[in-house]
């Protein structure tokens, strides 16, 4: 177990960019009250934006056009609906239209249990639009890897972070077993829960593969992604965003198209996330993921079909 957290990694990667690359970081209230959960360094080239979400994103895009490779911090991913227009309609389109890129590194931070507009996971919306790279790193190594990817490409990148990952010091390796009967593809903070679910199911004698999804776009369905699915014969994509027309359904469809094996999708219910605990509509936890797997296997079994 390492001692460097995801938050440490974000902060030091950012510091290096701001100090050594003369990069830029822009965001609202980023240098106060915990400095965005310890992810923002105290150094030069940080711009506190006023509460001007759309203009703030446009300013970040303008800085990208002149080569500063800005890090644009969005403290709550729900705000992407406001911040989105300059990103979607300019940053993501300028390379295809004009051959001029606007590489913005968008730190879109998700949470859970904080009510209707502070708990959202919107990365699925950004998979929809051409021109973005979209990822959801949950470990220190993954964060360093996606940063290198950003610096070696010239596309705007939506980085779907999750506060649940900030204290994490461990890497999340794929779990693949020859006798697995299902492959789980978890995204964002559900990855921590999927690992727990696999342990619970293993104790019941149900062996699951867990193939972690870091890159949402481009979504590369290579042997690492498709092989375990083909061998296990069924699949389940689990996401921290809404299920309807969301990342889980899109990835499940892509996997099904690539392999011919039906893959189910699991995300948030089609309900508003309220603040009170019974109605928070939280991300799928280990219990729900394990329950979904049991149900899928029951329906697929001869007994399940007979009683189905």
Partner 1 sequence: MIPAQGSGMRSASLGVIPDIALSFTTEHSLEMFRRMCVSRYFDLGLVESVKDRRVTYPVYLSLGQESVAAAISTVVPGHMVFTQHRCHATYLSFGGRPEKLRDELLGLPTGTSGGRAGSNCIQCHEGRVTMFGHHGLIGENVPQAVGAALGSGRPVVCFFGDGAAEEDYVFAAMGFAATHKLPVFFVCEDNNLSILTPIEKRRSWSITDVVRALGIPAVDITDDPWTIAHHAREQANSLPAFLNIYVCRKNWHVGVGSDGPPEWDRFALVKERLRERGLAERSGSLEDETRQAMEKLWAP
Maximum separation of any 2 CA atoms in the chain, in Å: 67
User: x/- contact string, 100-139, with partner 1 (CB under 8 A)?
Assistant: x---------------------------------------
Quote the tokens at residue 44: 């030069």
50 binds partner 1 (CB under 8 A): yes
Which region, judged by CB under 8 A, interacts with partner 1, from 83-91, 164-172, 230-238, 245-253?
83-91
Closer to partner 1 at the Cβ: 67 or 167? 67
Token readout for 53 is 């979400």
> Is 44 near partner 1 (CB under 8 A)?
no
Judged by CB under 8 A, which stretch of 81-89, 151-159, 213-221, 241-249 contacts partner 1?
A: 81-89
Residue 238's DSSP bridge partners are 186, 266
Least distance to partner 1, CB of residue 90, Å: 5
Q: What CA–CA distances, in Å, run from 65 to 21, 58, 68, 94, 133?
A: 16, 10, 8, 10, 17
d(CA 249, CA 294): 19
207: CB partners within 8 A, 6+ apart: 177, 179, 180, 181, 201
CA distance 299 to 294: 9
Q: Does 83 bind partner 1 (CB under 8 A)?
A: no
For the bound state, the minimum distance from the C-beta of residue 155 to partner 1, rounded and expressed in Å, comes to: 16
Kindly tell me which of 101 and 119 has the beta carbon lying closer to partner 1.
Answer: 101
Burial class (CB in 10 A: 0-12, 13-18, 19+), 109: buried
Binding mask of the shown chain, residues 17 to 36, with x at each position contacting partner 1 by CB under 8 A: -------x------------
Considering the complex, what minimum distance in angstroms separates the CB of residue 129 from partner 1?
Answer: 13
Binding residues vs partner 1 (CB under 8 A)? 24, 47, 49-50, 52, 54-68, 70, 85-86, 89-90, 93-94, 96-100
């Amino acid at each position: 177990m390492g001692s460097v957290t995801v938050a440490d990694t974000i902060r030091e990667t950012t510091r290096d960019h701001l100090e050594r690359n003369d990069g830029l970081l822009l965001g609202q209230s980023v240098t106060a009250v915990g400095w965005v959960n310890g992810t923002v360094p105290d150094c030069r080239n940080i711009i506190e934006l006023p509460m001007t979400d759309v203009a703030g994103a446009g300013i970040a895009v303008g800085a990208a056009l002149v080569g500063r490779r800005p890090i644009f911090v969005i403290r709550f991913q729900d705000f992407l609906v406001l911040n989105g227009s300059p990103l979607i309609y300019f940053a993501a389109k300028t390379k295809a239209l004009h051959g001029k890129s606007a590489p913005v590194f968008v730190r879109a931070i998700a949470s859970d249990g904080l009510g209707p507009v502070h708990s959202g996971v919107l990365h699925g919306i950004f998979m929809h639009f051409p021109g973005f790279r979209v990822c959801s790193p949950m470990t220190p190594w993954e964060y360093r890897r996606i940063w290198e990817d950003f610096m070696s490409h010239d596309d705007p990148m939506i980085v779907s972070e999750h506060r649940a990952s900030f204290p994490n010091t461990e890497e999340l390796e794929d779990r693949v077993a020859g006798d697995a009967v299902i492959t789980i593809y978890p995204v964002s903070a559900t990855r921590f829960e999927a690992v727990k679910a696999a342990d619970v199911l293993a104790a019941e004698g149900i062996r699951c593969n867990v193939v972690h999804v870091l890159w949402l776009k481009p979504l590369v369905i290579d042997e690492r992604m498709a092989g375990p699915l083909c061998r296990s014969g069924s699949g389940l994509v689990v996401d921290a965003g809404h299920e309807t027309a969301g990342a889980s359904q899109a990835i499940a469809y892509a996997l099904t198209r690539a392999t011919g094996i039906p893959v189910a999708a699991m995300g948030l219910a089609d309900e508003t996330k309220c603040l009170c605990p019974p109605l928070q509509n939280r991300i799928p936890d280990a219990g729900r993921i394990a329950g979904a797997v049991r149900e899928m296997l029951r329906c697929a079994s001869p007994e399940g079909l007979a009683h189905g």
